[in-house]
Amino acid sequence: MKLRFLFSVLLVLPLTMHAQSTVPAWDLKTCIDYALQHNIQVQQANIGVESSKIDLLTAKAARLPSLSGNISQTFANSKVATVNNQYVSEGYADQSQINGSYSLNAGLTLFNGNQTAQNIQQQKLQVASEVWTVAQTKNDIEVSLTQAYLQILYDNETVKTDQQTLDASQAQMALSKKLFDAGSIASNDYAQVETQYSSDKYTLTVAENTLQQDILALKQLLELGISDLFQPVFPSLSDDEVLQPIPDLQTVYQNALASRPEMKNSQLSVDIAAIAYKKSKAAYWPTLSLSGSIGTGNQYNKNQKATTQWDNNLSQNIGLTLSIPLFDNRQIKSAVEKAKLNITDAQLNLTATQKTLLKTVESLYQNVLSNQSKYIAALQQEKAAQISYSLVEDQFNLGMRNTVDLLTAKNTLLAAQQQVLQAKYGAVLNLKLLNFYQNIPITL
């Protein structure tokens, strides 16, 4: 029975290993490319671009003449009057008529204070604004993905560190058991080592669960389905990537001002508001329109042919209409005043966007410098803690140090290792984002 079970396991194992090997590996670039193509917010932003293009076509079409056709058929029934123009209650006759009417009507605006041209210009800027909105949405997605991905890398490094710590604790517990059995250490010392082992095992479990939760969060951010396989790549980061030099703050900020889509969009909002103000003032001007029509009709109960009636009843007209706004209950004036306020509001939004960008860049810049200096200091601290721990461990094995000294040195080393990881990934994340704000693509 045991041999049969072992044989079954050996058959299933290669299949399982093959299934695991086919899980697609997702690096950061793959995640970003996939999200920019499939993200719902990006797709909705693209719909906004297409909608604004349709509005632009509508604005351009306003320069063309309008043309409409009308066809009507009417039926009329009435009493017939006598010779004396009287109607009798009995014996009167009804008269029924079926009439047809056909016409074509055309109209063209010749002058409206240049509102049509300004509306076209405004819609062109609106299309550009929607395009920058798409770029801004993509940037937000890329930043979120970078943050989530680097969090996973940090979690993975933490798991490795905690696993190494657990392995060391297991070895210490095995050695302590031998020392305890030999009477070299007391029972409370052995209990402390055993407790530390249990604590390290729990810490590793928490770290592994955190890693899986953050992987799931990244998968959800990518909007992958429940059946989609996802396995992130864990690249190693060198000190050169952590300690990469950065330009001065003023240069970074100027690069961000020149390239960030939110800045482009805010400036376009000011331009759009300015055109809307001009368009509202143009409503004070009179509107000159050209109109023309051609029409005919017929009666079905006449002896004449329909074609003859159409020719006899044919009529044409053409005319000019000048509409002058004299009094409109303050409608135009109120619209002009509101349009002027909208310019001020757009300018304030532009200033607010500039300040927000400066605040973000300054924070990223300071975080890079801070984490880089922390990383250098943490590496030195980790090296010193490792040396101290090794000495205490050797002395503990020789019976020269107690358990408290050993665990204290170990916890000091763990704290130093954790500080190295925090500074390392903090520096890398802020470096990547700072470069991204200068229009430098994010890569790992």
Q: Which residue has the tokens 């000011």?
A: 270
Q: What is the 8-class DSSP label of residue 65? A: P
Q: What is the rounded CA–CA span in Å between residue 17 and residue 425?
A: 32
Q: Provide mean pLDDT across the span 101-124.
A: 94
Q: Is 426 helix (H, G, I), strand (E, B) or coil?
A: helix
User: Tokens for 386?
Assistant: 């490792």
Q: Provide mean pLDDT across the span 53-66.
A: 95
Reply yes or no on whether the pLDDT at 3 is more than 80. no
- 140 with 360: CB under 8 angstroms? no
Average pLDDT along the chain = 88
Q: What is the 8-class DSSP label of residue 24? A: P
pLDDT in the model for residue 310: 86
- Using CA atoms, how far residue 235 sits from 1, 82, 372, in Å, is 45, 106, 20
Give residue 375's pLDDT band: very low, low, confident or very high (50, 70, 90).
very high
Phi-psi group of 87: left, alpha or beta (phi > 0 → left; psi -120 to 50 → alpha; rest → beta): beta
Which string of DSSP letters, residue by residue, matches 241-309? HHT-----HHHHHHHHHHH-HHHHHHHHHHHHHHHHHHHHHGGGS-EEEEEEEEEEEEETTSSS-HHHH
User: Tokens for 291?
Assistant: 């109109």
The reported pTM is 0.82
Q: What is the rounded CA–CA span in Å between residue 251 and residue 257?
A: 10
For the chain, list the domains and their CATH numbers: 25-64+112-286+329-436 (1.20.1600.10), 69-110+287-323 (no CATH)
Single out the residue of 253, 269, 255 nearest to residue 133, CA to CA: 269
118-134 residues labelled b (16+ CB within 10 A) or e (exposed): bbbbbbbbbbbbbbbbb
Reply yes or no on whether the pLDDT at 121 is more than 80. yes
H/E element, 331: helix 331-397
Q: Is 235 helix (H, G, I), strand (E, B) or coil?
A: coil
pLDDT in the model for residue 180: 80
Q: What is the rounded CA–CA span in Å between residue 155 and residue 217?
A: 13
Give residue 85's pLDDT band: very low, low, confident or very high (50, 70, 90).
low
Q: Provide mean pLDDT across the span 245-272.
A: 94
In sequence order, the 6+-apart residues with CB closer than 8 A to the CB of 69 are 102, 103, 104, 105
Which string of DSSP letters, residue by residue, matches 100-158? EEEEEEEEEEEESTTHHHHHHHHHHHHHHHHHHHHHHHHHHHHHHHHHHHHHHHHHHHH
Q: Provide mean pLDDT across the span 333-337.
A: 95
Give residue 83's pLDDT band: very low, low, confident or very high (50, 70, 90).
low
CA dihedral 196, 202, 203, 207 (to 10 degrees): 160
User: Tokens for 116?
Assistant: 């049509």
Give residue 385's pLDDT band: very low, low, confident or very high (50, 70, 90).
very high
User: Tokens for 170?
Assistant: 């297991």
Give residue 432's pLDDT band: very low, low, confident or very high (50, 70, 90).
very high
- 420 with 378: CB under 8 angstroms? yes
Q: Phi and psi at residue 155, in whole multiples of 5°? A: -60, -40
Single out the residue of 39, 22, 96, 101 nearest to residue 69, CA to CA: 101
